[in-house]
Structure 1
Amino acid sequence: GTRIHCSIKKQHLKRYENHLSVGSWKFIEEFNVSNSIGQYRTTKHCYRISFVKDTIVSNSVTVSNSDFLDLVRDMRLSCTLWRNFADQIVEATSNNETEKLICLIRFGKIKEFRDIKSVSNAFDASLVFINPSGAQIDQFLDA
């Protein structure tokens, strides 16, 4: 499955909020497609979708639930995490003085200001994993 940015107008939000959850797979019918432009883009996809009043959302069988790990060529990023995510980091760093700490942020928000990139959580859409396990993590640690 490929990720794509989706917008829902405020007046339609109540209709769909019980049918959508982070990480779930859905069939979506009757929506608008437009070019994804602008400085802040939630995905690398060249298009984005927008729900309209006739959009239909129905359940789908999960096709793939793997976490994706992008290695950023040893680029250092400033990171700001809010609320529970900040508490997770504080707890993990206070209990760990010797090992590397891996923080995997899924669905984060990337900003660029004066050619400096930073990352933060994006409201309730972000997922933060502290020292996750998996083949990609092992490969990263061995590099």
Structure 2
Amino acid sequence: MAMVTNRKISFVSNLKPFKISWKIEVKVIQKWTQLSNCSEGDTLEFILEDKMGTSIHCICKSLFVDRVKDLHVGEWRVVENFSLIPAIGFYRRTSHPFKISIIDSTIVTEPSSTSCEMIDHNKDYEKGVGSSSSSSKRKEGDTDLNDTNSPAKKLCCRF
């Protein structure tokens, strides 16, 4: 079994299919079994949501069901090493352009009890010339206020 990594947790909205080494902290919103007549068998499916409220559809083929045995509705979990596939079709479970597919190296663990800093993969794009961040739009007297709209500034805390 693969080991848990020290990677920073990413936001669901930042997930892109160029790698499988993502690490997200999500809450299970829905869980169901999708019956199928194909040779691969039934799938276990989930709707997962991160702390920013972004949801994503997750599918798990019967071959990898043991990997997601710790995903229960209403509980927070850290999910690492999964693939992303396009969410296509007329009826989509979420508005996210991709869905998570559980693979043989996927790891599901309980989140740590300490606070963790979330990583914002879009921060490089915000540094462009002529762009203004939400903090630069604040009034002069508001410099000590936290920027609650910036995902790069948010911290997740476990109580």
TM-score w.r.t. length of structure 1:
0.38
**More helix as a share of residues:** 1
